[in-house]
Chain A
Amino acid sequence: MCDQTFLAATFGPCDNCSKASPLMNIYLKNEPINYCSFCVEMMACQGLQKGETLTSLKKESETLKKKLEEERGKLTDVELHQVAEKVEAVAALSIKTRRVLKGHGNKVLCMDWCKDKRRLVSSSQDGKVIVWDGFTLNKEHGVTLPCTWVMACAYAPSGCAVACGGLDNKCSVVPLSLDRTENLAAKKKSVAMHTNYVSGCSFTNSDMQLLTSSGDGTCALWDVESGQLLQSFHGHTADVLSLDLAPSETGNTFVSGGCDMKANVWDMRSGQNIQSFESHESDINCVKYYPSGDAFASASDDATCRFYDLRADREVAVYQKDSIIFGASSVDFSLSGRLLFAGYNDYTINVWDVLKGNRVSVLFGHENRISRLRVSPDGTALCSASWDNTLRIWA
């Protein structure tokens, strides 16, 4: 159901031969180029080695795919849960709803914690973005965006701004002001521009750069101050629904997951797709790095969550149960990485033991599907956002 095409026909002067003719918009080394079809053919022929044809390339891709499978298979000497057999089982958890944040007029689509471990920002289908104090339930700031379905929101590392975006195909940064009477919407600044909805956004280590994922199949890194595109990431063949940055100690990579059922790991500086994982059977709704940065988990519409190790380059665990038939929309790890919290479309949150692979607990409370859940920066609480117009803080 994706409607993005990389080769769209427009008419105009060709970038290469300057003749006016139907143009093909293609990307060359991440730069968009408009060449007429003749120039594209010439370029494609130059790029081919002697004797390379479509069929020979297809054959090579088949053999390479088989080789990848073999290589990955060779290293699978044991399963994760087997290695974890000797580990003590998780003790019964006493996690309950401690706060219910009411105030949104429609489905809450996204939320993010502030680094101060008490504030959080949430965005909703009605176009409102609210900054809350989690301890007191005070609404500290509210911004109304001109578009509905604000699907992505993120808190800046400094705590001085929030980013939000959605159906307006943009991601905007709003600086938060201590002055209550100030109109925050007036200071909103558009940073990211995509050709389809923005599904996820995240600041990098500073307030200066913003990473976004979009329904147009790409992810992009932007400079907040100038709005300039610093790097774009092409490789997904359908909408990208989620992204997560590697924990800062481990370097400049991030993982993205999308409707093409693939999870890709990217190098932020070169734009290169480093690793790719394709084992889900439906759209990947959410991806999240393990706290050590060596692995990540994904949640999918196929009702499973999966755990992938980056150094072994393969899936190492599947979290599923016959009784769970609804898609999982969001995942996050507890501080030590032992627990995986996953929000599902059947209104529940399942808590999985990451090492042993069994379900430890189920959290009930929401009255509609969970859209997003996040563990607080110090690991003391879990916040879940739901289509029942509320957010809940569990501890």
Chain B
Amino acid sequence: MPGTANIIAMKKIVQQLRLEAGINRVKVSQAAADLQQFCLQNAQQDPLLNGMSSSNNPFRPHRACSFL
């Protein structure tokens, strides 16, 4: 009984590994270049990276406050 459980489990593992061994992979240099490009392209719109001015960022305190 424990034998068949192990065989079923092993078979699943082997099938999974066969699948994983067969996928297409890209070179790290290419993948890294793409990641870097994405970062740099979007860097301008990143408020936490650049720091938004107090007037634009709703969470930062405003300098002046006037009663209407």
In the bound complex, residues from chain B placing their C-beta under 8 Å from that of A52 are 11
Chain B window 4-28, contacts with chain A (Cβ cutoff 8 Å), 1 for yes, 0 for no: 1111101101101111110101111
Among A134, A276, A335, A336, the most chain B Cβ lie within 10 Å of the Cβ of A336
Among B6, B16, B32, B42, the most chain A Cβ lie within 10 Å of the Cβ of B32
- Expressed in whole angstroms, the Cα–Cα distance for A382 and B52 within the complex equals 13
Q: Does A72 contact B (CB under 8 A)?
A: yes
Count of chain B residues near A, Cβ 8 A: 49
Q: Contact between B25 and A339 (Cβ–Cβ < 8 Å)?
A: no
Q: Contact between B48 and A335 (Cβ–Cβ < 8 Å)?
A: yes
- Expressed in whole angstroms, the Cα–Cα distance for A382 and B51 within the complex equals 12
- Expressed in whole angstroms, the Cα–Cα distance for A134 and B27 within the complex equals 43
Q: Does A68 contact B (CB under 8 A)?
A: yes
Chain A window 368-389, contacts with chain B (Cβ cutoff 8 Å), 1 for yes, 0 for no: 0000000100111110000000
Q: Contact between A379 and B20 (Cβ–Cβ < 8 Å)?
A: no
- Expressed in whole angstroms, the Cα–Cα distance for A48 and B7 within the complex equals 9
- Expressed in whole angstroms, the Cα–Cα distance for A228 and B59 within the complex equals 40
Q: Contact between B21 and A67 (Cβ–Cβ < 8 Å)?
A: yes
- Expressed in whole angstroms, the Cα–Cα distance for A381 and B58 within the complex equals 9
Count of chain A residues near B, Cβ 8 A: 74
Count A-B contacts at CB 8 Å.
190
Chain A window 173-192, contacts with chain B (Cβ cutoff 8 Å), 1 for yes, 0 for no: 00000000000000000000
**Cβ of A30 to closest chain B Cβ, rounded Å:** 12
In the bound complex, residues from chain B placing their C-beta under 8 Å from that of A382 are 48
- Expressed in whole angstroms, the Cα–Cα distance for A49 and B4 within the complex equals 14
Q: Contact between A339 and B49 (Cβ–Cβ < 8 Å)?
A: yes
In the bound complex, residues from chain A placing their C-beta under 8 Å from that of B31 are 294-295, 309, 311-312, 316
Q: Does B68 contact A (CB under 8 A)?
A: no
> Within the complex, which residue of A54, A75, A79, A335 is in contact with B46, where a contact is CB–CB below 8 Å?
A335
> Within the complex, which residue of A44, A71, A291, A339 is in contact with B7, where a contact is CB–CB below 8 Å?
A44
Q: Does B64 contact A (CB under 8 A)?
A: no
Q: Does B35 contact A (CB under 8 A)?
A: yes
Known: A54-B7, A75-B28. A395 touches B59 (CB 8 A): yes
Q: Does A93 contact B (CB under 8 A)?
A: yes
For the residues of B in contact with A, the DSSP-based class is helix
Known: A60-B14, A80-B35, A336-B45. A380 touches B52 (CB 8 A): yes
- Expressed in whole angstroms, the Cα–Cα distance for A77 and B30 within the complex equals 10
Q: Does A248 contact B (CB under 8 A)?
A: no
Within 8 A of B (CB), among A73-115: 75-80, 83-84, 87, 90-91, 93-95, 98-99
Nearest opposing residue in chain A for B46, CB measure:
A336
Mind listing 26 A-B residue pairs with CB under 8 Å?
A: A44-B7, A48-B11, A64-B17, A64-B18, A72-B25, A83-B29, A83-B36, A93-B48, A272-B19, A274-B23, A276-B16, A290-B35, A291-B42, A309-B35, A312-B27, A312-B32, A336-B42, A336-B43, A336-B45, A355-B36, A375-B48, A379-B47, A381-B57, A393-B59, A395-B47, A395-B59
Beyond the given pairs A84-B32, A337-B38, A381-B47, 13 more chain A to chain B contacts, judged by CB atoms under 8 angstroms and listed by A's residue number, are: A26-B8, A57-B11, A61-B14, A78-B28, A80-B32, A292-B34, A311-B30, A312-B30, A316-B31, A336-B41, A379-B45, A380-B47, A381-B59
